[in-house]
Chains A and B, each alone.
Chain A
Amino acid sequence: MDSCSLVEKEIDKVLTKFSFVSDQTDRQLNELINYAEKLITDLAEAPEDEELSVAQSLMLTQYIKKAKDGSSKVAAEHRDLHGAVSKVGKAVDRNFTQDFGVVNKDGTFCGLDRPDLVNQVICQHFFRQGLLDIGETLIREAGVDIDVNSKEPFFEMNRILEALSKGDLQPALKWAQENRFKLRENHSSLEFKLHRLQFISLLHGGPQKQSEILQYARNFEPFAAQHEKDVQQLMGSLLYINTGIESSPYAYLLKPVQWADICDVYTRDACALLGLSVESPLTLSINAGCKALPALLNIKQVMQQRQCTDVWSNKDELPVEVNLGPEYRFHSIFACPILRQQSTDHNPPVRLICGHIISKEALFKLSNGNKVKCPYCPVEQSAADAKEVHF
């Protein structure tokens, strides 16, 4: 954040200096104006066609010089501010990268040959977030050819989420019941959690609602096997309904965090069902890009400085590893520890008898006739015994 602070320093200087000059200017010009007005008042004491006295003439001459100097000074003081202004620009240029076309040769990342695909992705991104209005505007302005049906799942999700945020569990329950089978396949406990929340909200009703609550508890029946403990706890809370659950060991049930969680659980399960990712692909890609660009800029700078721009001659791979963190790891990557190359279709990973995994090419390189010795442990085997693995 030093970059920001450095620029901010210059801007603060500009603000101070300009305010100061503004006050100065006002003061100086007021002084000149007041003096002139005083002169006018003095002169008004005499009749118009009377000649000027020598004293008055002298005062006027003095005033002329004073006014000329004063007004020129005002203009000059303003002109001097330019230094402070240009320092801001220089600070920005020094601390922030202007041109990242320098990132890649041939401008790989600068052009977009399929803007229509990008616009589709952006549309989906807006629909996911419930920004239906903005999505529709984009469709109109960009002429995006969107499949009407693809919008529907997002609209429904947003409807349900909105209801959930207002405390209305019904739409979500209805959806969960309709998709009970698939949810169960995915090991989702959404329906039970929704019933649980509904039960808890009924608890707020107090002892008068007891029979209603008990009646509602029947809904737990299909889930009793899998969520035995939870059901027991919920029923246990009824013991305290007369004395107040807030002061009972079951007070945690009433905490609002349960509601925040349910939106999350619903989103995850709904997305899993629809085969969608939970997080918008656009968000993930842009965040990844924001992490990757500085690394790429760095390497390009180094390459240019050392004049070895051919290092990135293999256009199939980025020239540098970008560590995005575990949240961005969606696929297994195997890099052979011996040859330091990523596995490909022609060079898959293989498992030796001892369990160590190396690449097929490494296996060939290490083979002596048909014998191969594992580089990590003293186990020997024949090359044919190595088994191809899939991650």
Chain B
Amino acid sequence: MDLKALEHPTLKVPYEVLNKKFRSAQKNIDREMSRVHTDLDELEKKLLDKPTTVGDVSRILTSVVDKLNAMKRKAAESIGDELDAARVTKRRTDHLREYDTKDQNLQTLWRKKRLDRILVEYFLRCGYYDTALKLAKHSRIEDLTNLDIFLVAKEVEESLSNHETAQCLAWCYDNKSKLRKLKSNLEFKLRQQEFIELVRKNKRLEAVGHARKYFVNLEDNQMFSVQKAMGLLAFPPETEVSSYKEMLDLSRWQLLVKEFRSENFKLYQLNNYSVFTVTLQAGLSSLKTPQCYHEDTKNADCPVCSQYLNDLASKLPFAHCSQSRLVCHMSGHPLNEHDHPMMLPNGYVYGENSLVKMATENSGKIMCPRTKQMFSLTDLEKVFVM
């Protein structure tokens, strides 16, 4: 049951990779095929163009054989890639199916791997790449995580932070068709930034040339921002004039990084938040009780009572409980018909077993752990919780 809710990204991402490989494979095969056809057309023409010599025909035929071989090679390579991508997906479903076992130990190990997978994804999203790599290697979950995609993204993000557009543009080209389907503005924004950089370096003529080349066939809203950018030509790079100063601001590069990151996620159908964040907080909420925030009822074993999580959970909703479930404060064990809840005269309730044990070790005397008051075994009264 938990699988259905949490594992969509685990399987969707390798599917998107497979899809991408399919598209590029088809492109390759079509291209090689058209090369073969070109040669065949030439041969056909030659045959109609009498006189045709043996030599002419041999030459073209040899070329045809070459192109056919190239097509064979390219097809084998591309389909090999596709099969690899499909196998990655299969490995992941295999792993997910391992959860369906009666063996408690295996289940615990699987859950541990799941926690590590979730952590790796969280680290990648935060940009803690070294930690992610180390953890993935340690748990041997490299092919169960989407490391590759994030590492490619990391390179692009770094180049953008260095005020370079080349890598990001190459990425856009690589993913052209999908980005077009998503109606992405990224490439346009990159070209705009290049324009601004040319102006910053006072290369205004080049900037105009750049604009002529890239700012064509624009949508309305793009046209609007181009007009604003063109206005920049009239100002020096150190200008203090309001909206032009912002355009020259270097923080625009960070916006490009964010835009790239968001488009990258959309490409692989990833959400903007991490599974870790949602799961952690859902978990804390389902464990949170009012007792976690009262000094005398804190329990060292309860995650919500622990130091940092206590703080984190303070704004989250409490768990909803419609049934009473009692736990003995002394032993931590549940109170039920095997361990009756008993009340001391001061109103504090503990399990009968723990109270009796304390009394036998203390010659019939009982000390309430929370108020330090002393009572005797005969002072106990039964309570009934429905």
Question: In the complex, are the beta carbons of B2 and A329 less than 8 A apart?
Answer: no
Segment touching A, from B198-206, B212-220, B228-236, B296-304: B296-304
- Does B99 interact with chain A (Cβ within 8 Å)? yes
Bound-complex Cα distance A101 to B274 (A): 10
- Does A71 interact with chain B (Cβ within 8 Å)? yes
Return B269 CB to nearest CB of chain A, in Å. Answer: 7
Contacts of B221 in A (CB 8 A): none
Return B382 CB to nearest CB of chain A, in Å. Answer: 5
A51 in complex: contacting residue of B51, B290, B291, B332, CB < 8 Å: B51
Bound-complex Cα distance A57 to B16 (A): 49
- Does B58 interact with chain A (Cβ within 8 Å)? yes
Question: In the complex, are the beta carbons of B325 and A329 less than 8 A apart?
Answer: yes
Contacts of A330 in B (CB 8 A): 287, 299, 301-302, 305, 327, 332
Question: In the complex, are the beta carbons of B65 and A37 less than 8 A apart?
Answer: yes
Contacts of B327 in A (CB 8 A): 329-332, 391
Return B202 CB to nearest CB of chain A, in Å. Answer: 38
Residue of A at shortest CB range from B118? A286
Question: In the complex, are the beta carbons of A64 and B43 less than 8 A apart?
Answer: yes
- Does B173 interact with chain A (Cβ within 8 Å)? no
Contacts of B386 in A (CB 8 A): 337, 356-357, 376
Question: In the complex, are the beta carbons of A318 and B320 less than 8 A apart?
Answer: yes
Which has the most chain A C-beta neighbours within 10 Å: B61, B111, B281, B332? B281
Known contacts A26-B72, A79-B26, A67 near B282 by CB under 8 Å: no
Question: In the complex, are the beta carbons of A108 and B100 less than 8 A apart?
Answer: no
Return A336 CB to nearest CB of chain B, in Å. Answer: 8
- Does B245 interact with chain A (Cβ within 8 Å)? no
Question: In the complex, are the beta carbons of B89 and A120 less than 8 A apart?
Answer: no
Contacts of B75 in A (CB 8 A): 22, 25-26, 29, 74, 78
Question: In the complex, are the beta carbons of B282 and A292 less than 8 A apart?
Answer: yes
Question: In the complex, are the beta carbons of A340 and B322 less than 8 A apart?
Answer: yes
Question: In the complex, are the beta carbons of A108 and B279 less than 8 A apart?
Answer: no
- Does B188 interact with chain A (Cβ within 8 Å)? no
Question: In the complex, are the beta carbons of A96 and B72 less than 8 A apart?
Answer: no
* Residue-wise interface mask of A (217-257) relative to B, using a CB-CB cutoff of 8 A (1 in contact, 0 not): 00000000000000000000000000000000000000000
Q: How many A-B residue pairs have CB under 8 A?
A: 419
Bound-complex Cα distance A289 to B312 (A): 15
* Residue-wise interface mask of B (56-98) relative to A, using a CB-CB cutoff of 8 A (1 in contact, 0 not): 0110011011001101100110011011001101100110110
Known contacts A22-B79, A292-B285, A333-B325, A96 near B2 by CB under 8 Å: no
Which has the most chain B C-beta neighbours within 10 Å: A103, A288, A330, A389? A330
Question: In the complex, are the beta carbons of B12 and A92 less than 8 A apart?
Answer: yes
Question: In the complex, are the beta carbons of B19 and A4 less than 8 A apart?
Answer: no
Number of interface residues of B (CB under 8 A): 134
Give residues 367-391 of A contacting B (CB, 8 Å): 376, 387-391
- Does B208 interact with chain A (Cβ within 8 Å)? no
Residue of A at shortest CB range from B101? A1
Question: In the complex, are the beta carbons of B283 and A285 less than 8 A apart?
Answer: yes
Give residues 106-153 of A contacting B (CB, 8 Å): 107-115, 117-118, 120-122, 124, 131, 133-134, 137-138, 140-142
Segment touching A, from B126-134, B151-159, B247-255, B256-264: B126-134
Question: In the complex, are the beta carbons of A389 and B343 less than 8 A apart?
Answer: yes
Q: What 6 A-B pairs come out closest when comparing CB atoms?
A: A289-B283, A48-B55, A330-B302, A281-B303, A289-B279, A288-B283
Residues of chain A touching chain B, judged by Cβ–Cβ distance below 8 Å, are 1, 3-5, 7-8, 11-12, 14-15, 18-19, 21-22, 25-26, 29-30, 32-33, 36-37, 39-40, 43-44, 46-52, 56-57, 60-61, 64, 67-68, 71-72, 74-75, 78-79, 81-82, 85-86, 88-89, 92-93, 95-101, 103, 107-115, 117-118, 120-122, 124, 131, 133-134, 137-138, 140-142, 272, 275-279, 281-294, 296-297, 315-322, 324, 326, 328-335, 337, 340, 342, 344-345, 351, 354-357, 376, 387-391
Known A109-B277, A115-B126, A287-B111; 19 more pairs at CB < 8 Å:
A33-B65, A64-B40, A64-B43, A64-B47, A74-B71, A96-B12, A98-B269, A118-B280, A134-B135, A137-B134, A281-B306, A284-B283, A286-B114, A288-B282, A316-B318, A331-B292, A357-B383, A391-B329, A391-B349
22 cross-chain CB contacts under 8 A? A1-B100, A8-B97, A22-B80, A33-B68, A37-B65, A40-B62, A52-B54, A67-B64, A68-B37, A71-B71, A72-B33, A82-B26, A98-B269, A111-B273, A117-B312, A138-B128, A278-B301, A286-B283, A293-B278, A330-B299, A334-B326, A391-B341
